[in-house]
Amino acid sequence: MSSVSLAGNIPSAAALRARSEDRTAWLLAAPAIVLLLLFVLLPVAAVIFLGFTDFELGYGKFRFVGFENYAHIISDRTFRRSLWNTSVYTAIVAPVSILLGLGVALLIEGEGRARGFFRTVYFLPVASLIVAMATVWQYIFHPTIGPLNALLSLVGIPGPNWLGASNTVLYSLSIIGIWQSVGFNMVLFLAGLTAIPRELYAAAHVDGAKSALDRFFLVTWPMLGPTTLFVVTISITNAVKVFETVKMLTDGGPNKASEVLLFTIYQEGFVYLRVGYASAMTVVFLAILVVLMLLQYRVLDRRVHYT
């Protein structure tokens, strides 16, 4: 009787193998879990904590102020201005870069001989150093020696001060943002186009879709649903996170006309040293990103066709 119970308590070979695989899986995932904890979760927790304090860099003591920082954000004109500028920038850059990326991807997909060359050319802005390219764009937009205004003067149009005037600076930065994003979106759409079975186009042709436009709306566009959802999410997130070009080209000026959310957070935290207030702004910024992503998936995911 005891031997039977003893045999029942001995784990089987399959159970031992499963436990060994579990341990191996946890060991392999441990570095990623530790990095996620140290560089994502703990910083987010620290930011949320500091958002309820009046902590300033250089001062050892701080006190809890509750929702005082968040109440101040609501009445902060600079924050409202930067939120508006970020919204305008995103509303321009995200849709235009998505449409241009899709258009370029379709053109390259239809090009047989120089496909690799055009992929490289359009992807160069993504791989380029932002500091170096900002210098190039500063020269292009220069009001007196810039080639853009020189071209406009040839047709009798007086060129504006692209980066130095309040009514043009945000649109100039949007042009740079579109230029940066088109190549990345193009690569993503090319991957989606490659995954579409060629048989679907043949079937669509048999069903009466004779023109390229008919085949696009009948086959290409529905099959690009998952790719488009991902591209929209990435494009909006990257546009909302704009910072480098603003810092290097305009420093938020003139008259805060190009000040965006991340630049305002940077100013509060690293220039004015009001880390508590900057942390509260960061929490609001993260909340905006989360809401945008949820809305995108709620609206677009229902229309996506997964194969």
In-domain check, residue 259 = yes
Give me the amino acid identity at 201. Y
Nearest to 201 by CA among 222, 220, 221: 220
- Residues 164-176: pLDDT tens digits? 999 999 999 999 9
- Mean pLDDT, the chain, rounded, equals 88
Q: Is the dihedral of CA 27, 31, 33, 34 positive or negative?
A: positive
pLDDT of residue 295: 83
In-domain check, residue 172 = yes
In-domain check, residue 296 = yes
pLDDT of residue 202: 83
In-domain check, residue 12 = no
In-domain check, residue 52 = no
How many structural domains are present in the chain? 1
254/252 Cα distance (integer angstroms)? 7
In-domain check, residue 34 = no
Which residues in the chain show pLDDT less than 50? 1-2, 4, 6
231/183 Cα distance (integer angstroms)? 12
196/106 Cα distance (integer angstroms)? 13
Structure token pair of residue 209: 């879709």
Q: Is the dihedral of CA 232, 235, 241, 242 positive or negative?
A: negative
How are the residues of the chain apportioned to helix, strand and coil, as percentages rounded to the nearest 5? 75, 0, 25
CATH, residue 276: 1.10.3720.10
In-domain check, residue 133 = yes
86/159 Cα distance (integer angstroms)? 25
Q: Is the dihedral of CA 258, 286, 284, 271 positive or negative?
A: negative
164/271 Cα distance (integer angstroms)? 22
pTM of the model: 0.87
In-domain check, residue 58 = no
pLDDT of residue 200: 86
List the domain range (segments joined by +) for residue 107: 77-302
pLDDT of residue 8: 53
